[in-house]
Amino acid sequence: LSRKSNFYIFFNFFSRRKYIKNHFSDSTLFKVIDVLYNNQNKILNSRLLVRMNMIEKRFFTLKKNLLENRKNFLIIGSKFDKIKMERKKKFLNLFNDLSREINHVYKEITKTSKNPFGGTAFLDLSNKEQPYFGKIFLSSVFPGKNIKEITSLSGGEKTITSLSLFLAFAQILKIPIFFFDEIDLYLDLKFSKKIFEFLRKYSSRNKITIF
């Protein structure tokens, strides 16, 4: 059996066995078979080497691309982690400043002669690892009462807590002007006066208009 191009050539010795037997000796036939066998191996080996070289080149190309992609992945991953940490840091800085400021405003509004330190308001996170993907809870402790989330507060308590949050934002973000509309709707006379007194003091740094 010998192979050339994509065709196989078969040497059928059996169909011409009488002619071959009469004209060729056994040793000659063995030599012919050896030559054919060696030629066949040479052809197959040469094709195999070509194929192996192609596979080897392809392997090294893929290996090079894999190493390059892995390097790029590590670089991008490092940049992503850096941005992620910076984002979390900025978020928590604003969150902590806001939580401190809302507590300060809430104390100023809710303090009385009986409770000179006032109440407490604070923010809390549902997801501390990735806070920007979670919820932020606003809770307050009115003087003489238990801690409650804003959804459980009375109308007046919600007004004071929400106003404290707004003024805390305004203080941190340096909002120059803002408007209020009927903010004392759910407040009794005592806390209405306290809020307006606080706003009058606050208006020395900001322009406030109340309708």
Q: At what angle do helices 26-110 and 155-173 cross, to 10 degrees?
A: 110
Instruction: Retrieve residue 33's tokens.
Output: 């078979």
The pTM for the full model equals 0.61
Q: What angle do CA 24, 29, 30 make, to 5 degrees?
A: 150
Do the bridges between strand 136-141 and strand 148-149 make them parallel or antiparallel, or are there none, so unpaired? antiparallel
The strand ranges marked E within 16-164 are: 120-125, 136-141, 148-149
Q: What is the pLDDT along the chain (211 residues), one digit of tens a residue?
A: 444 433 334 445 545 555 555 655 656 656 666 666 666 666 666 666 677 778 778 888 888 899 999 999 999 999 999 998 999 999 999 999 999 999 998 998 888 778 888 888 989 998 888 888 889 988 888 887 777 666 777 788 888 888 888 888 888 887 777 777 777 777 788 888 888 888 877 776 666 665 5
